[in-house]
Amino acid sequence: MASRRHHRTAIAVTAALLTLTAAVGCGAVDKAIDCVRTADAIATSVNNLQQAISNASEDPTQASEALDEIDKELKNLGDTTDNADLGKAVDDLQAGVGNVRASIEKGDATPDIAPVTDAATEIGKVCTP
């Protein structure tokens, strides 16, 4: 289901980009494209996190690697826009990542990742024009 949702998000983002390209100048389009690409990368990383959590007993390092990827993409996203809604979603995602990371470090093999997925979804919404 998450894979299907990710695919639909990617299609919607692509369609929005085509519309946006025709509607605004190049600088804004470049920023929007960067935002969308980063949002897509975050969605992929969150999907990887979900899979890692469900397979935590087999390889507990996968969750940490997925969290590292989300952190990396959040740093990239910070350079793409000054949108207040995006800033809040990024802050929420960073807080969620921190909470999941802390839970894993305390030995929780199945931490609550709902705040991470919710914030990632919000980033996707904000980055879609």
Q: Over the stretch 54-76, which tens digit does the pLDDT of each residue have? A: 887 777 788 888 888 888 888 87
How remote is the C-alpha of 112 from its chain's centroid?
Answer: 16
pLDDT confidence bin for 21, thresholds 50/70/90: very low
d(CA 2, CA 74): 20
d(CA 40, CA 25): 22
Closest by CA to 89, choosing from 43, 111, 121, 128, is 121
d(CA 24, CA 54): 42
CA atoms within 13 A on the CB side of 77: 31
> Is the pTM above the cut of 0.75?
no
Mean pLDDT, the chain, integer: 77
